[in-house]
Structures are given as C-alpha cells and as structure tokens.
C-alpha cells in the first residue's frame, strides 16, 4: 500500500508539473496564460518596454489605450519554461511569470532583479459602475526597502522622493494625476487607467488601486536612468513637438485685462520701457457676463474691434494667448448645440451659479464642434496660442451621481483623469489640420500621460502666494518632468495674493521679495509667465527704472532672453532626443546618491544647476554641488570642486546658479522680443575644466517645416587638454538661414563671470558653415 500511495503522489506531481508546462501559449509578442482565473498576457512592445495585461477569465471587453500610441515591434524573443515559471527575454530585459500565483518579475540580462509584483498581487472586485458590471482593480508590487521613486505627475506635497506616500491620483486644480513612477534602479511603470486611483507605498507593498477597470494594464520600461526612462515613456506615449521660439521669452498675464485697449496698452508700456516681452494673455470674461460663459466671441462693449486688438499686438512684435474653457453657460450657442446632441456631461463646472456644464471631451464629434466654434470665433483672428483653463475640469457642487454621468467612452468616473488629455488633443489635432504655419501652443492647467504630444505646457494651478508654496513648486515640477511631460510653468508670485493687498500690493516690500524670488525661479523653467489675481504684476506696477525691484526683474527678464539659444537647443533635445528641460540632480548624476532626494536644486538643461531662494529674508544659502564635476559660480566665475556643500550669499539680485565644467553656452543678443535680432554675432561661453559638447539648433522659429528636415545644427566641441574649440560642419538648412556669422569665444574664469563689468573675448572668428578649429 505504501509503495502504491507513493507512486500515486509521484504521478500526481508529474501531472501537476506537466499542467504548468502546458498552461501558457507563446504569442508573437510574448505569452498568454490562464492563471488564478485570470487571462494574463505579457507583450513586448520593444526590447525595453513590456505590457502586462490581466483580466478576469471570460471577460472579452477590449481595451484601447488613450495614452499609448506605440505599436508593438516585431522582436526575436527567447521563451523558456521551468516548472511553474516561464521566462520571456529580449536582449535588454527578462520577464518571468509564476504560473501558479500570477506574479510577474522583471530582471536585467545579468540576472539582477529590477522590479516585481507581489504573489497574488492582482485583485479584481466586482462593482456596478453606473449600471455597468465591471471591477475595481488593484495591483501590488514590492520595492527594495531603500529604493527611491519619482513621478506621479504633479503633487503639491513638497517631496521629490514619493516613497511612503498615499496619494489620491485624481485631477484637481494644482494637482496633476499621472499614474506613473520611475525608480533609481532605472525602470519606470505606467499604470494605464483613467479612473480615480489611490497610489500607496508602505512597508508591505506599493500599489495602484483604481475605482473602475475591466483589466489590470501596465507597462514596464527599462531606461537605465532618469533620462532613459523618460525617453521610453515618450517612445510609448508620443514625442513632444517644438514650441515656437517666442514662447521661451517673457509672457505677461493678469486676472484679468478688461478691455482690448487695456491689453494693448500693457504691450505698449513694455515696449516704451524697453523691457523684453513676447506674449500677452487675455483671461476670462472677454465674452461678457457669466451667463454667456465661454461663448468664444468678444463682448462688443469692451472688445469692439477684436481684429484690431490682435493686429495691434502683432504690430508691436508680440503674441496673443486667448483663454478657452471646456464648460459653457446655457445662453451660449455651444451649450445649446451640445445639449441637443447629448454631448454635455451633466455636472456643474466653473463659474458658480451659472449652470455651466462641460462638453463631452471624449466624443470625437464633440471635439469637432468645439474646434469649429473656437476656429470661427477666435482662431480666424490670427491669435497665437491657447490658454486652456480648467482642464481637470473644475467640478463644483459635487454630487456622487455626477460620476455616473455618461460620456462617449463610459461613465465619467471611468475616464475622469483623461479629461485634459482628450481636451488638449482635440484642440491640437484640429489646429494642426488647418495650419502648419503657426506652431500649436497650449497653456493648460492639468495633464495626463501622453499629453506632451499635443504641445501642452502645464502650469501648476491657482497656487497661493506664499513661501512654503514656492518651495513646493520645485519638486512638483521635477516629478512632473520625470513623468515624461517636459513643459511646465507656474504663476510668478503665486495666483492668490490677497494677503499682500493691504500693505500696498505690488509696492508691498514683502510681496516684492516673494515675487522677485519667484521670477528668478521662473527664469529657469520651460515658460516664464507672470500671472495672478488681487495684485497686478506688470513690471511697472512695482516701481520704475532705478528702483531696486524693477531693476532686478528687468535683469532676469533680460537674462531669459540671453539664454534663448541655449534654451531653444534644449527644447530641440526634448523633441529630437526625448530629453527634458528641468531635471533633478539624479538624472544628470546617477552615481551621486547625495543628490537623489535633493528637492531644492535642479538642472536646467545639462549645464545649469539652479538653486532658487525659497525662504524669506535669506542672506545666504547652502548648495550641494554634485561630485562628478567642477562647478563655476555663474555670476562670478569662481570655480568649486564637486562633492561638497557650499554657502552662497543671496542678496535680492542673486539666485544661486552654477555651471558644470565642460559646458558650452551660446549667449544671445540683448533684444526686446525673441526674433528681433538674428544670432549672427554670438558669444560662445566656455566653462573649462572638462571636455564639452553642444549643438546649436536653429529653424524658422514658428512653423512645422522642421518636421520636413528644414533646420540646422552646428556642433561645438571643447577639448580641455588642448584648449581647442572645434566647430563642426553645419548640418541641414532652412529658409532665412545665416550663411556667415561671427562667434566670440569667452573663456569663463573668476575674472570673467557674468557680473564682470567688461567681458573679455578671448578670440573671435567668422564661420560660414565649414569645420573650423580655434586653439586658445
């Protein structure tokens, strides 16, 4: 009996192992398996991007991603099976699936574990969503105890490292919900779900828990570091087009200009003061009273000749943003048409008491209607950019039944977080369809994964005017950028400034200090834009030329323009190489853990380390300089060894800025607007101490001819040992390109910083597009 029982057990185990071996099927992209009553699919989209897709057994609902646009590549994959484990490998990563528990494990080719789910970590809970039988879904993972992660969109929690957090990922004013994080281990995770989601990280697990889903769907991407993961996220969800050159200048706004004459006069005053300006913004109520909210037409009393307004702005060599909202008041023709076609989402949006409703941004036909009104009423006038406000959208008088409201893609609850993506996508694609002569530029208050492909620059919302909020903007911006979204900005001075009105508004010394420090920070962000309520922010509100605060603001606006060649080249790296403009120290210095959780400093491009002053009355500030480089004080040219913390005096005129040794920085001309002067006589600032490389990018500044190859690149190389600057053959050409130009080499040292009265030009030379080497 004993022998027979043993034989039966052996037979059972053999059959059990055989069952595991037969419980998956190879597919062209990976495998399909039935595990724990779930259909599980592992699909390689590239050698470094893998989709993990799970749904309850028998659920045949299809999933079309709103964010992911990449199609799977044809790859050679190696599939191996050992007992209850199956491993699928590309040349860059291996994925192992436990056929008993459903756990998915990711490893590098050398066997180093990168990321893993928990055993039995996928949970489906049956729910009823607005009459639809579906699920609440949770996916749990395990991270290393000391692992640092970034991302999750824009969170105003003041933290760079998002470990130990429990966050509600739901679009709100001042919060951007992107269910994505990346790790210092060099991978990223995108949880592809659009319903409100709880991200939680604690000692037991790291998880995404979404209110509505018919599947668990996420993408693992391996990039090797911060920049590499961002590049993979762009590969997956879309590349970012070039913004127009003028958008990198200075932009003035206010809540709000009340007539077309007031708006044009602001531009005229900047021109008369000879303070640079490129953009002016028309905020809400240009359509009249709230019962005509967002009519996409101009009130004839205060805006009697809108075409003349637009033309006047253009004649002053400036550009005009016009605000547009996703909600409409009942009096408007848009509301009436959307309502007649069941294309409104029936809940209250801004403003209060106006019975305003948002249109169904998820419906392609509704997006067509929206653009038709926008085009006829405003775009036809020749405006230059859109301010798409309330793209969360605002949701007031909230009722639980609001989330049951139907949309083209299901309940509002099921797609809520994708609202900004669908809305901005509609405007971008429609404008691109009618015009290639003007680059789309969308200023938007919220974002979702993939929105970078729609030329969206997201601002941080209606934040308060106070020092703690200013401090939080740095990690908020960096995590936003690390989520794959390169364009971010904020209201200089914060939006709500009512606390400073009593003390004199713009003449209040406390507000002047806060505003000036905020402006210094904004100089080194993807868009420099002054805006807010309670206190007008135009430079002349703070005083006159010769007044300290006026002069400091003018200094930093001018600095922004001098940096245009550098910033525009950095923007090209965003478009052409999936780069980023604002980067944490980790992205540039992945081997220096001392910078991994630094939330007060960041890199602007690859050369500038910026450490904004974010506390009132700071006379000096401590700055950490990463160990992999020597550093130059931007203002004085003084050199510091990396790997140390230095103390820098910070009078109101100074924000600590350090330039990495080996940097090559083109220095633009002094101008009143971005395209006033050609770059035919550029200083090329060399920061010695290491070899350097820089590509100067130029195109036609505001059209899409660059997509046809009409642009030029000039590569500069600095050999530190031989003190030689080599300018390579120019690549490419475009209409209006400079055939000949002059470059002036400025080698920076402690006698040749920016604050030096007279910059020493070490050598000047002419360049006609052919390689030249200049030895110093």
> Could you list the active site residues?
389, 392, 462
- For 314, phi then psi, to 5°, come to -65, -40
**For residues 195 and 169, is the Cβ–Cβ distance under 8 A?**
no
Angle 700-701-707 (CA atoms, 0-180°, nearest 5)?
Answer: 65
The residue ranges of DSSP E strands in 317-441, in sequence order, are 319-324, 327-328, 357-358, 385-388, 406-407, 410-411
Structure tokens at 300: 């004839």
d(CA 457, CA 527): 8
| Residue 511 exposed, middle or buried by CB count within 10 Å (0-12, 13-18, 19+) | buried
DSSP β-ladder status, 442-444 and 385-388? parallel
d(CA 490, CA 492): 6
Structure tokens at 465: 């005017």
| Residue 674 exposed, middle or buried by CB count within 10 Å (0-12, 13-18, 19+) | buried
d(CA 219, CA 502): 52
d(CA 180, CA 191): 6
**For residues 420 and 172, is the Cβ–Cβ distance under 8 A?**
no
Q: Per residue, what are the HEC states of 219-278?
A: EEEECCCHHHHHHHHHHHHCCCCCCCHHHHCEEECCCCCCCHHHHHHHHHHHHHHCCCCC
Number of C-beta neighbours around residue 341 at 10 A: 14
Q: With the CA atoms of 264, 269, 275 and 277 taken in that order, what torsion angle do they form, in degrees rounded to the nearest 10?
A: 0
DSSP β-ladder status, 528-530 and 250-252? parallel
**For residues 497 and 534, is the Cβ–Cβ distance under 8 A?**
yes
How big is the chain, counted in residues? 776
Q: E strand or H helix at 28, and its extent?
A: none
Q: E strand or H helix at 695, and its extent?
A: strand 692-698
744: closest CA among 727, 765, 770?
765
Residue 483 carries which DSSP code? T
| Residue 308 exposed, middle or buried by CB count within 10 Å (0-12, 13-18, 19+) | middle
Angle 350-463-579 (CA atoms, 0-180°, nearest 5)?
Answer: 105
Angle 770-771-776 (CA atoms, 0-180°, nearest 5)?
Answer: 130
**For residues 595 and 225, is the Cβ–Cβ distance under 8 A?**
no
> Where does 435-545 have alpha helices with state H?
467-482, 509-522
Structure tokens at 216: 């668990």
Distances (CA, A) of 385 to 173, 283, 391, 444, 575: 21, 12, 16, 11, 19
Distances (CA, A) of 595 to 156, 589, 609, 624: 20, 8, 12, 8
Rg of the chain in Å (alpha carbons):
28
Q: E strand or H helix at 182, and its extent?
A: strand 176-183
- For 148, phi then psi, to 5°, come to -105, 135
């Amino acid at each position: 009996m004993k022998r027979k029982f043993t034989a039966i057990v052996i037979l059972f185990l053999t059959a059990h192992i055989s069952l595991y071996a037969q419980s998956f099927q190879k597919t062209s992209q990976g495998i399909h398996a039935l595990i724990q009553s779930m259909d599980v699919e592992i699909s390689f989209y590239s050698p470094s991007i893998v989709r993990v897709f799970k749904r309850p057994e028998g659920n045949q609902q299809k999933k079309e991603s709103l964010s992911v646009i990449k199609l799977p590549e044809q790859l050679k994959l190696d599939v191996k099976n050992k007992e209850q484990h199956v491993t699928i490998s590309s040349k860059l990563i291996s994925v192992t699936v436990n056929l008993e528990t459903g756990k998915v494990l990711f490893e590098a080719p050398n066997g180093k574990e990168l990321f893993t789910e928990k055993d039995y970590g996928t949970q489906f809970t049956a729910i009823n969503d607005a009459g639809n039988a579906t699920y609440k879904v949770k996916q749990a993972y395990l991270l290393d105890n000391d692992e640092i992660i970034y991302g999750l969109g824009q969170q105003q929690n003041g933290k760079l490292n998002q470990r130990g957090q429990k966050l509600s990922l739901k679009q709100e004013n001042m919060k951007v919900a992107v269910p994505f994080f990346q790790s210092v281990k060099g991978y990223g995770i995108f949880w592809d779900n659009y319903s409100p989601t709880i991200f939680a990280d604690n000692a037991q697990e790291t998880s995404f828990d979404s209110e509505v889903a018919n599947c668990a769907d996420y993408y693992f991407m391996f990039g090797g570091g911060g920049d590499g993961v961002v590049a993979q996220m762009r590969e997956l969800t879309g590349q970012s087009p070039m913004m127009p050159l003028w958008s990198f200048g200075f932009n003035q706004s206010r809540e709000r200009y009340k007539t077309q004459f007031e708006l044009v006069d602001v531009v005229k005053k900047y021109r008369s003061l000879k303070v640079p300006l490129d953009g002016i913004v028309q905020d809400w109520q240009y359509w009249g009273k709230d019962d005509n909210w967002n009519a996409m037409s101009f009130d004839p009393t205060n805006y009697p000749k809108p075409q003349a307004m637009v033309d006047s702005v253009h004649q002053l060599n400036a550009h005009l943003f016009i605000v547009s909202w996703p909600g409409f008041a009942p009096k408007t023709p848009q509301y009436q048409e959307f309502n007649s076609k069941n294309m409104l989402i029936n809940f209250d949006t801004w403003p209060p008491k106006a019975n305003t409703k948002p249109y169904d941004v998820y419906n392609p036909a509704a997006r067509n209607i929206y653009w038709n009104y926008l085009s006829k009423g405003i775009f036809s006038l020749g405006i230059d950019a859109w301010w798409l406000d309330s793209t969360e959208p605002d949701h007031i008088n909230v009722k639980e039944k609001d989330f049951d409201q139907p949309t083209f893609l299901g309940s509002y609850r099921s797609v809520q977080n994708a609202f900004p993506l669908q809305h901005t996508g509609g405007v971008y694609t429609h404008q691109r369809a009618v015009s290639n002569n003007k680059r789309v530029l969308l200023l938007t208050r919220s974002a979702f994964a993939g929105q970078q492909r729609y030329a969206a620059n997201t601002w941080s919302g209606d934040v308060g005017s106070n020092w703690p909020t200013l401090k939080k903007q740095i990690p908020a911006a960096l995590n936003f950028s690390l989520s794959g979204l390169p364009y971010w900005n904020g209201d200089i001075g914060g939006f709500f400034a009512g606390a400073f009105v009593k003390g004199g508004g713009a003449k209040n010394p406390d507000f002047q200090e806060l505003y000036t420090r905020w402006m210094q920070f904004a100089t080194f962000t993807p868009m420099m834009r002054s805006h807010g309520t309670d206190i007008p922010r135009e430079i002349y509100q703070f005083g006159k030329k010769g007044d300290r605060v006026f002069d400091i603001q003018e200094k930093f606006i001018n600095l922004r323009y001098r940096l245009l060649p550098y910033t525009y080249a950095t923007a090209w790296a965003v478009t052409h190489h999936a780069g980023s403009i604002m980067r944490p120290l980790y992205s540039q210095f992945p081997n220096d853990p001392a910078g991994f959780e630094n939330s007060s400093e960041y890199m602007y491009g690859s050369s500038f380390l910026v450490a904004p002053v974010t506390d009132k009355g700071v006379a000096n500030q401590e700055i950490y300089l990463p160990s992999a480089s020597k550093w130059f004080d931007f203002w004085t040219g003084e050199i510091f060894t990396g790997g140390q913390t230095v103390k820098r005096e910070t009078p109101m005129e100074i924000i600590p800025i350090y330039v990495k040794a080996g940097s090559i920085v083109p220095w633009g001309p002094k101008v009143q607007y971005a395209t006033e002067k050609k770059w035919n006589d550029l200083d090329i600032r060399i920061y010695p101490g290491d070899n350097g490389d820089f590509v100067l990018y130029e195109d036609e500044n505001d059209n899409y001819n660059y997509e046809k190859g009409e642009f030029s690149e000039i590569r500069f190389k600095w050999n530190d040992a031989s003190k030689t600057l080599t300018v390579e053959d120019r690549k490419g050409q475009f209409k209006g390109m400079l055939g000949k130009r002059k470059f002036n080499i400025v080698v920076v040292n402690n006698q040749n910083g920016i604050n030096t009265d007279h910059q020493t030009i070490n050598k000047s030379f002419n360049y006609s597009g052919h390689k030249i080497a200049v030895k110093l």
